[in-house]
Amino acid sequence: MADLVLTKAEDGKLHGLTDADERRYAKFIATVREMEPGHTVRFTFKLPRSPQFHRLHFAILAALFKCQDQFTDAEKFREWTQVGAGFCDIVPGPKGKPVAVSKSIAWDALEEADFAEHHAAVIGFVRSVYFSRFLWPHLDDAKGSEMVEAILQEFGA
């Protein structure tokens, strides 16, 4: 099975993004044209993520990470926000108790709509009392909320 990336040209027609994609697309079109009634073809498509939105999400996380002292590892911080946002699987831990494990947000793992949902859930978690109480236990809830909002405001979130 070949991956194929298409783009819509100014003429309104689909074309392969690269020369290899163009060859794969031509092969796909030829296969569809030559199909006999009753034959089937299966394909899956994904709408790619917006690089700008991807960068925004990670810039927000980086700014939040920079303003806290609970985590020393940015990756662990990101995983914690994902679990807090509910983007995780619950699996048995070493002693049988349930443990939350963050899911992958790799570029190929989530397309744009799914990543947008994930981002919204993370922002919701970031705005929660639990988030600010854990990261800034010395602040009262109002001050913790102000801290979060000040950081998010920098990004228009």
Kindly state the tokens that stand for 18. 């690269």
Q: Is 154 helix (H, G, I), strand (E, B) or coil?
A: coil
5-33 b/e (C-beta count within 10 Å ≥ 16 → b): ebeeeeeeeeebeeeebeebbeebeeeee
- For residue 65, the SS3 value is helix
Distance (Å) of CA 107 to CA 46, 53, 138, 139, 151: 11, 12, 37, 36, 25
Per-residue confidence in pLDDT tens, the chain, 157 aa: 578 888 888 999 999 888 998 999 999 999 999 999 999 988 888 777 888 999 999 999 999 999 998 999 999 999 999 999 999 999 999 998 999 999 988 877 788 888 999 999 999 999 999 999 999 999 999 999 999 999 999 998 6
Say if pTM beats, i.e. exceeds, 0.75. Answer: no
